[in-house]
Amino acid sequence: MAPEPFVTVTINNQTYRISKDQANTEYIEQVASYLDRKMQAAAKAGARRPVDIALLAALEVATEVLEARQKKDNLLSATDEQISNFSSLLEKQTGSSKSASDTTDDAPSQDSPQTLPPHALSRLKDLLDSED
């Protein structure tokens, strides 16, 4: 017998059937439980109409999302600065402040420090974004 293509969740004392695949049942339940807690807190804060409860819960969740994004952006900025500082320090330590005209080919020599490829920071940011 094929598994049911829906998961049933309760949010703010209302039951909903949500479409799912086998891999995301727990995730849907976790999200619904989180939203239910936010809506229950909004109801306890004095909101009475369901739309008011939903709006207050949505504002709370949006605030959390924006704060998390700001924290992530701050961490990325700090990481960028640390990488830049490390690269500068590495260049100073190895004494490789040669200009591009001092080298005979585009390949870095064994003695010169490896600089980060331009896509490295972008890839790091993508990896951190995927954790959201």
Dump pLDDT digits (tens) for 112-123: 555 555 566 666
Handedness of CA 6, 26, 14, 132 (dihedral sign): negative
Look-up: residue for tokens 């799912």?
20
**Residue 98 domain flag:** no
User: Would you tell me how many other CB atoms lie within 10 Å of the CB of residue 125?
Assistant: 15
Q: What's the structural domain count of the chain? A: 1
Examine residue 24 and state whether it is found in any structural domain, yes or no: yes
Please report whether residue 85 resides in a domain. Answer: no
Q: Which domain holds residue 43?
A: 1-80
* Two tokens, residue 72: 């992530």
Q: How far apart are CA 104 and CA 36, in angstroms?
A: 65
Q: Is residue 86 part of a domain?
A: no
Is the residue at 118 inside a domain?
no
Mean pLDDT score, 30-47: 93
Output the pTM of the full model: 0.59
* Phi, psi of 66, rounded to the nearest 5 degrees: -65, -40
